[in-house]
């Protein structure tokens, strides 16, 4: 147990800052010496590598989006010149673009913390249903599973029928893959005449690459007795965060520095505010500083009841391009969907407008039940809304059931700029 729930995960704030700042400055200085492109970036801005001493100093560098990285790689094939020119590279993966990624060493902890937090260990037989073909997912999840001692079946993208056969014959206990694929495996098992809960031993699932919707999570857990965990990362930077048994936020891997920034300025937002997840992976091979994931999230800095002190991400609230800013705070369609689900799939629509210099947020809600609109109900709704979206509602308009069509946008920005 001690091996993966290690000192790093229980660092004090001061320890975390000191160790990460030290590694960051080492990485930047090494990168400046070994990567042509990083040297160019620093020289063009007349920044000395010794200027980056701590996390706060990163703000002087621009955020690099996935699109920007593709562009840089097209100009300089294969790694945009961001690699360590004298490092030994274990593996090279690709992601759409194409982008080529010289990968972290096979001895790296990648994903092991996530699997450990999900309770996976030597007694598990894990089905790894992520693709092993060119992309990073299959092999990196495989390595993480091996690091915690689990036996791995590299089933990859085999058909759901084959996956069912493997789960049955090899007495699989854990699934690693996307939630939607697990659902199709369960459906296929039903079709083949099995009772998934009674006939099989699969009781744990670790998901990545797709959002896990609360309703689907509930189905897995309640109907099929599968304990579910979410993991979050990107090929460009590796594992970023993972859920623990509390399932209340994702612990950030201590090998990465995560900033939550305003995508328009690249500056860090105030604590607890929604912003873009920007990741710098501390390593000696690929010097990608401030990678902009395009995902929106919030930081939770309070200690988790599980004992880990690492900071957490409050899930992913949407993509930068889909978000609308209301009084300086982001609002996203996926947050609205969460609220709708919370209130029995209540059809709703948020409209942002402007009166004078003020943003006005109006919510249109369908009266699908008689209690909707009572002051008690409204207060409860407003509280939940504030919890999930941080921003306050200014007006509520109740409309008859069936008025807000399913094809209508959930979030409408009517402001004229």
- At closest approach, how far in Å is the CB of 302 from Zn ion? 10
Paired tokens of 402: 């069936």
What sign does the dihedral 159-165-167-169 (CA atoms) show? negative
CB of 308 to Zn ion, least distance (A): 5
Stretch that binds Zn ion, among 7-15, 75-83, 299-307, 347-355 (CB under 5 A): 299-307
- Smallest distance from the beta carbon of 120 to Zn ion, in angstroms? 16
Applying CB under 5 A, which part among 78-86, 218-226, 239-247, 253-261 lies near Zn ion? 239-247
Contact present, 286 and 310 (Cβ < 8 Å):
no
Q: Shortest Cβ distance from residue 178 to Zn ion (Å)?
A: 23
* For Zn ion, the closer CB: 235 or 246: 246
Return phi, psi of residue 179, to 5°: -65, -40
Binding mask 386-415 for Zn ion (x = CB under 5 A): ------------------------------
Footprint (CB under 5 A) of Zn ion, residues 58-97: none
Q: Interface residues for Zn ion in 308-367 (CB under 5 A)?
A: 308
**How many CA within 13 A on the CB side of residue 118?**
33
> Is 282 an interacting residue with respect to Zn ion (CB under 5 A)?
no
Q: Judge whether 246 and 301 are in contact, CB under 8 Å.
A: no
Task: Identify which range of 84-92, 105-113, 162-170, 240-248 contacts Zn ion by CB under 5 A.
Answer: 240-248
Q: Does 246 bind Zn ion (CB under 5 A)?
A: yes
Closer residue to Zn ion, CB minimum distance, 1 or 215: 1
Nearest approach, Cβ of 250 to Zn ion (angstroms)? Answer: 9
Q: Is 118 in the site for Zn ion (CB under 5 A)?
A: no
Residue 10 touching Zn ion (CB under 5 A): no
Nearer to Zn ion, 54 or 246 (CB): 246
**Of 308 and 337, which CB lies nearer to Zn ion in the complex structure?**
308
Verify binding: residue 304, Zn ion, rule CB under 5 A: yes
358-367 vs 395-400, strand pairing mode = parallel
Minimum distance, C-beta of residue 274 to Zn ion, in the bound complex (Å): 21
SS3 content of the chain, % helix, strand, coil (to 5): 35, 25, 40
Return the closest-CA partner of residue 101 out of 231, 235, 229, 203. Answer: 235
Spatial distance between the Cα atoms of 404 and 126, rounded to a whole number of angstroms: 44
Q: Please give, one letter per residue, the 3-state secondary structure of 79-142.
A: CCCCECCCCCCCCEEEECCCEEEECCCCCCCCCHHHHHHCCCCCCCEEEECCCCCCCCHHHHHH
Distances (CA, A) of 394 to 303, 317, 365, 380: 33, 21, 13, 15
Q: Which range touches Zn ion (CB under 5 A), out of 102-110, 223-231, 246-254, 352-360?
A: 246-254
The SS3 of residue 372 is coil
Closer CB to Zn ion, residue 241 or residue 304? Answer: 304
Nearer to Zn ion, 306 or 396 (CB): 306
How many helices (H) and strands (E) the chain has is answered by 12, 22
Of 30 and 304, the one with the shorter C-beta distance to Zn ion is 304
For residue 268, how many other CB atoms are within 10 A of its CB?
Answer: 18
Residue with tokens 């039903």: 190
- Interacting stretch for Zn ion, rule CB under 5 A, among 71-79, 228-236, 298-306, 402-410? 298-306
Q: Is 306 in the site for Zn ion (CB under 5 A)?
A: yes
Please, what is the minimum distance in Å from the beta carbon of residue 106 to Zn ion? 27
* Contact in structure between 139 and 146 (CB atoms under 8 Å): no
To Zn ion, the closest distance from the beta carbon of 230 in angstroms equals 12
Sign of CA pseudo-dihedral 352, 355, 360, 364: negative
Rg of the chain on CA atoms, in Å: 23
∠ at Cα 120 (114, 125), nearest 5°? Answer: 125
Q: In the complex, what is the shortest distance from the CB of residue 142 to Zn ion, in angstroms, rounded to a whole number?
A: 25
Among 241, 244, 253, 336, binds Zn ion (CB under 5 A): 244
Q: Closest CB to Zn ion among 142 and 308?
A: 308
- Taking the complex as a whole, how short is the minimal distance between the CB of residue 128 and Zn ion, in angstroms? 24
Q: Which residues bind Zn ion (CB under 5 A)?
A: 244, 246, 304, 306, 308
């Amino acid at each position: 147990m001690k091996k993966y729930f290690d000192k790093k995960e229980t660092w004090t704030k001061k320890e975390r800052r000191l160790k990460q700042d030290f590694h960051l400055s080492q990485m930047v200085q090494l990168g400046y010496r070994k990567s042509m492109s990083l040297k160019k970036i620093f020289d063009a801005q007349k920044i000395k590598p010794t200027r980056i001493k701590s996390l706060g100093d990163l703000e002087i560098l621009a955020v690099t989006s996935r699109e920007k990285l593709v562009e840089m790689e097209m100009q300089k094939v294969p790694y945009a010149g961001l690699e360590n020119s004298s490092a030994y590279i274990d593996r090279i993966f690709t992601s759409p673009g194409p982008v080529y990624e010289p990968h972290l060493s096979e001895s790296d902890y990648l994903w092991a913390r996530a699997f450990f937090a999900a309770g996976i260990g030597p007694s598990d037989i894990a089905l790894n249903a992520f693709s092993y073909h060119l992309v990073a997912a299959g092999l990196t999840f495989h390595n993480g599973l091996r690091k915690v001692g689990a036996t791995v079946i590299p089933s990859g993208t085999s058909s759901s029928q084959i996956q069912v056969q493997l789960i049955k014959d090899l007495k699989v206990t854990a699934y690693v893959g996307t939630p939607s694929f697990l659902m199709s495996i369960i459906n296929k098992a039903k079709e083949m005449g099995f009772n998934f809960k009674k006939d099989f031993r699969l009781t744990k699932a670790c998901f990545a690459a797709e959002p896990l919707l609360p309703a689907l999570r509930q189905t897995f857990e309640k109907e099929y007795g599968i304990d579910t965990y979410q993991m979050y990362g990107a090929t460009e930077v590796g594992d970023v965060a993972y859920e623990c048994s509390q399932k209340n936020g994702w612990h950030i891997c201590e090998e990465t520095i995560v900033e939550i920034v305003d995508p328009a300025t690249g500056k860090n937002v105030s604590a607890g505010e929604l912003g873009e997840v920007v990741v710098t992976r501390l390593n000696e091979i690929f010097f990608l500083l401030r990678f902009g994931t395009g995902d929106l999230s919030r930081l939770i800095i309070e200690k988790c009841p599980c004992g880990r002190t690492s900071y957490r991400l409050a899930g992913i609230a949407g993509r930068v391009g889909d978000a609308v800013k209301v009084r300086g705070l982001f609002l996203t369609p996926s947050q609205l969907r969460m609220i709708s689900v919370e209130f029995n799939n209540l059809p709703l629509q948020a409209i942002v407008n402007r009166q004078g210099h003020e943003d006005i947020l109006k919510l249109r809600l369908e009266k699908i039940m008689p209690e909707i609109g009572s002051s008690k109900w409204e207060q409860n709704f407003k509280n939940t809304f504030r919890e999930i979206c941080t921003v306050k509602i200014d007006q509520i308009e109740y409309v008859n059931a069936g008025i807000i069509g399913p094809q209508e946008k959930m979030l409408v920005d009517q402001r004229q700029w």
